[in-house]
Amino acid sequence: MTSNAAFKKQVRALAARDDIPYSEARSRLMASDQPKGDGRETPAAAGVAGATRQTFAEIIGTALVDRAIELATADRLADEAEQAWAEDRERGGLRIVVSGQTGSPDEDGRSDWSTQDWRTGEILASGHSTYDEVTWGENWIDISQADSLDVANYDKTAVLDALPDGTAPELERFISQVVESMDYQDWPREFADWLKQNDG
């Protein structure tokens, strides 16, 4: 397809050659027959390009929506497993806590820290010391131990495996990179929640 700048150049040249107004030269060029193979996009070709773009949009949209739902489902399963893990420990007499460093270590290796009740947020202990000097209740267990639960599948391969046969490698690579960027963002989960509320 002739670029806009090249077309204007042709119009100016024709106007100068035939000593006619610019508008007339432009009309002549637009109405003139162009030789075959000049690279112009015919209406039929434009329609094919539009259809291809629509197909790509549908493939990309389906993959991203499916991934958002997959991430939200994985998060829900992880939350349910964590709750079950905590309730089981609480039935055994343990108190679930969240403990961690709240400041940078000083030259002596000491830092600020605090331990809170996981359910209520109540501060149970705090201080400034080394890790070995941290106060710890006999019946406390940190919620971070539930991180070992392997119930949430965040693997993106399911979405990629579901792509239509013959999907162009470039399109698959684009979808793969976008899907990967979704893993640690909130917006895919928020969209999945919105979709659930508005589906049907």
99 and 142, same domain (yes or no):
yes
Domain boundary among 125, 148, 171: 148
* pLDDT of amino acid 37: 46
Cα 28 to chain centroid, rounded: 50
Residue 119 has pLDDT above 70, yes or no: yes
- Report if pTM > 0.75: no
Helix (H) or strand (E) holding 27: helix 22-31
Range of the domain at 132: 93-148
The answer to whether residue 50 sits within a structural domain is no
Residue 153 has pLDDT above 90, yes or no: no
The answer to whether residue 38 sits within a structural domain is no
Closest CA to 165 of 47, 58, 59, 52: 59
The answer to whether residue 112 sits within a structural domain is yes
Residue 168 has pLDDT above 80, yes or no: yes
For the residues 166-190, what does the mean pLDDT come to?
Answer: 88
The answer to whether residue 120 sits within a structural domain is yes
The answer to whether residue 187 sits within a structural domain is yes
Domains held by the chain: number = 2
The answer to whether residue 17 sits within a structural domain is no
The answer to whether residue 5 sits within a structural domain is no
133 and 165, same domain (yes or no):
no
pLDDT tens digits for range 45-58: 555 456 688 888 99
pLDDT tens digits for range 83-103: 999 999 999 999 999 888 888
Helix (H) or strand (E) holding 98: strand 95-101
The answer to whether residue 24 sits within a structural domain is no
Percent of the chain with pLDDT over 70: 74
